[in-house]
């Protein structure tokens, strides 16, 4: 049984027990699992452009559950998490991004996030690694 079917079954059971909002959430997750990756990415971009960073994060996370190596989705996830004030989440996602691709732009973003979060020692250490040949 795949993840989508399990989520549907949980949704039906929860609805049967009279917990409508929770059941609806499981149905919605099951439905989202079937949306193609390009559409999930576009939906995330639209949500972010409308200032709905929570929804954008949800779309990017679903996309990344399907394709964990989607570097651009990870970059946009980091941006959305930062904009909604989730620095810890943005740092974790940024660390994942650096594991995939060590571009100077991503390193600079990580340094910036560390500084915003008051982790100056980690920011300086990353700067030193960045500047060494």
pLDDT digits (tens, 9 = 90+) for 106-121: 999 999 999 999 999 9
Residues 19 and 80 in one domain: no
pLDDT digits (tens, 9 = 90+) for 45-89: 999 999 999 999 999 999 999 899 999 999 999 999 999 999 999
Predicted confidence at residue 128, as pLDDT, reads 86
- Tell me which residue range forms the domain holding 18: 1-34
Do 48 and 83 belong together in one domain?
A: yes
Structure tokens that stand for 74 in this block: 């990870």
Q: Is residue 98 located within the same domain as residue 43?
A: yes
Q: Are residues 69 and 53 in the same domain?
A: yes
pLDDT of residue 93: 97
Based on the domain organization, do 66 and 111 belong to the same domain? Answer: yes
What pLDDT sits at residue 71? Answer: 94
Residues 73 and 20 in one domain: no
Q: What is the pLDDT of residues 1-30, one digit of tens each?
A: 666 666 666 555 555 555 445 444 544 554
Predicted TM-score (pTM) of the model is: 0.73
Give the span between the Cα atoms of 24 and 97, in whole angstroms.
32
Check whether residue 44 and residue 67 sit in a common domain. yes
Long-range contacts of 35-38 (CB under 8 A, 24+ apart): 35/62, 37/63, 37/66, 37/67, 37/70
The reported pLDDT for the residue numbered 129 is: 80
Q: 48 with 86, same domain?
A: yes
């Amino acid at each position: 049984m795949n993840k989508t079917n399990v989520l549907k079954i949980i949704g039906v059971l929860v609805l049967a027990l009279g917990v409508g909002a929770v059941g609806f959430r499981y149905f919605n997750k099951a439905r989202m699992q079937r949306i193609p990756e390009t559409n999930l990415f576009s939906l995330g971009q639209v949500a972010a452009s409308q200032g709905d960073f929570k929804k954008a994060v949800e779309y990017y996370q679903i996309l990344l559950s399907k394709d964990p190596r989607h570097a651009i989705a990870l970059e946009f996830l980091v941006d959305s998490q930062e904009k909604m004030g989730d620095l810890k989440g943005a740092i974790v996602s940024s660390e994942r991004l650096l594991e995939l691709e060590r571009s100077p732009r991503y390193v600079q973003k990580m340094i910036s996030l560390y500084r915003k979060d008051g982790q100056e020692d980690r920011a300086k250490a990353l700067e030193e690694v960045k500047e060494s040949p």
